[in-house]
Copies of this chain bind each other. A is one copy, B any other.
Amino acid sequence: MATPKSLSGRGGAWAVGAETQIKAVTAQVLFTMEANGSGLQNFPELKNDTFLRAAWGEETDYTPVWCMRQAGRYLPEFRQTRAAQDFFSTCRSPEACCELTLQPLRRFPLDAAIIFSDILVVPQALGMEVTMVPGKGPSFPEPLREERDLDRLRDPAEVASELSYVFQAITLTRQRLAGRVPLIGFGGAPWTLMTYMVEGGSSSTMAQAKRWLYQKPQASHKLLGILTDALVPYLIGQVAAGAQALQLFESHAGHLGSELFGKFALPYIRDVARRVKAGLQKAGLAPVPMIIFAKDGHFALEELAQAGYEVVGLDWKVAPKKARECVGQTVTLQGNLDPCALYASEEEIGRLVQQMLDDFGPQRYIANLGHGLYPDMDPEHVGAFVDAVHKHSRLIRQN
């Protein structure tokens, strides 16, 4: 396996070539060939492939389960590890990311791990300053205001080499997982990353980012294209480093209607899947299942199911049966318990899980929450959620 150092040392290769996309693809191949050649096959053998089987649409003995933000502040050990340094320094420390990723696995029999990182490392790697303000969230001191601000961004082909620390974290974690469960890599979808880069932080309306879509459609497409060009080698690099599945977070889908989503989000979501799959193939890497989670994107479920992803993640506002009717039988669904349901008693959690599992049915389904865990949640209740999924999903297979 490529070591952190050697991955980082390939940085120069990412700059070869004139046209961004060609450069990126070349770089992918160079990077992934090396990564693969030096030993993906040396990772410990996978002992629990339930999550991957469900993602690929194969039959499983029970319903696999993981939680968005399962490595999070609701765990006292997470708060302790995170307290050692600021948020993005943590993201840059492979040891810390590995530790944070493994923490929930020590408590709960989860069926997948997801690497601890943040979607905003991509805008950072493109040259934007991002800080995490405690109690407020991410802040960009110099957000994008005008089209000419795009000139400040680094060549997207350089992004993956900037993010070698994520690859190192993935490789380390994959080794330390010792084959217990698969490791998921992830990235933010282009529209969602754009909202942060234009808004400069969180926003209840995303009005500035949407103003770009309506007033500067060409510049918006240029930015979304840059982000796609950055994401493709970044996601391929994660697989080369050891990620066994990829989730794309379109967290801000819900601010767009059908028309804007179709113009400015969906094409890039499709591109990411197509180019990542093609890149993996070119690099001789085995394909991995890809998950698209477009929060509040209820209006685009049908399109998302045909966007090239094996799994469609759902928030809790979509009824399981309606979602299945809408997407057909060709994709796996993932989700979608209201995260706040974990505030309920363990009995009530059990009841809600039963209902969710009955509604989704036993196959082509991965249990999860409909959004990330919140910091004030009780770890015991996360355990109750995981146990209820395992228990009830075995029961319904017996009937």
Contacts and interface: CB of A to CB of B under 8 A. Distances in A.
Contacts of A319: 257-258, 299
Contacts of A215: 343-345
Contact of A340 (B202, B214, B258, B352): B214
Nearest to A372: B205
A343 B317 CA distance: 29
Contacts of A78: none
Interface in A309-332: 316-319
A281 B370 CA distance: 44
B254 A214 contact: no
A180 interface: no
Given A214-B348, A257-B317, A348-B214, A374 B205 contact: yes
A257 B210 contact: no
B254 A317 contact: yes
A347 to B, nearest CB: 12
Contact of A299 (B317, B345, B352): B317
A42 interface: no
A211 interface: yes
A260 interface: yes
B257 A316 contact: yes
Contacts of A213: 340
A338 interface: yes
B317 A376 contact: no
A251 to B, nearest CB: 11
A298 interface: yes
Contacts of A371: 205
Nearest to A352: B259
A341 interface: yes
B258 A296 contact: no
A204 interface: yes
A207 interface: yes
Contacts of A296: 254, 296, 317
Contacts of A341: 214
A15 to B, nearest CB: 37
Contacts of A345: 215
A272 B214 CA distance: 38
B298 A211 contact: no
A204 B204 contact: yes
B207 A374 contact: yes
Given A316-B257, A374-B205, A340 B210 contact: yes
Contacts of A298: 298-299, 317
A61 to B, nearest CB: 28
Nearest to A216: B343
Nearest to A374: B207
Given A204-B202, A257-B338, A338-B260, A214 B344 contact: yes
Interface string A188-216: 00000000000000101101001101110
A137 to B, nearest CB: 9
A259 to B, nearest CB: 8
Nearest to A318: B299
Interface of A: 202, 204-205, 207, 210-211, 213-215, 254, 256-260, 296, 298-299, 316-319, 338, 340-341, 343-345, 348, 352, 370-371, 374, 376
10 contacts: A205-B340, A205-B371, A214-B340, A214-B343, A214-B344, A254-B317, A257-B338, A260-B338, A298-B298, A298-B317
